[in-house]
Amino acid sequence: MIDSLQFHHIGIATRNIAKTAQAYACMGFTATTVVYDAIQKVNICFVSKANTPLIELVEPTESQSPINKILDDVGTSPYHICYQTTEMEADIEALQEQQYVLLQRPVAAVALDNRRICFLYNRDMGLIELLEEVT
Please list, in sequence order, all residues whose beta carbon lies within 8 angstroms of the beta carbon of residue 48, skipping any fewer than 6 positions away.
29, 30, 32, 54, 55
Of 41, 43, 45, 42, the C-alpha closest to 29 is: 45
Question: Site size for Ni ion, by CB under 5 A?
Answer: 4
**Taking CB under 5 A as the rule, does residue 56 contact Ni ion?**
yes
**Taking CB under 5 A as the rule, does residue 132 contact Ni ion?**
no
Q: How many helices (DSSP H) and strands (DSSP E) are in the chain?
A: 3, 9
**Taking CB under 5 A as the rule, does residue 44 contact Ni ion?**
no
Q: Please check whether residue 54 is in contact with residue 9, taking contact to mean a CB–CB distance below 8 angstroms.
A: yes
Rounded-to-10 torsion of CA 101, 113, 52, 67 = -40
Closer to Ni ion by CB, 91 or 129: give it. 129
CB of 128 to Ni ion, least distance (A): 9
CB of 12 to Ni ion, least distance (A): 9
Could you say which of 5, 11, 12, 118 contacts Ni ion (CB under 5 A)? Answer: 11
Could you say which of 47, 82, 118, 130 contacts Ni ion (CB under 5 A)? Answer: 82
Q: Which amino acid appears at position 66 of this protein?
A: P
CB of 131 to Ni ion, least distance (A): 7
Kindly identify the residues of this chain, within the stretch 13-42, that bind Ni ion according to CB under 5 A: none
The residues of the shown chain that bind Ni ion, judged by CB under 5 A, are: 11, 56, 82, 129
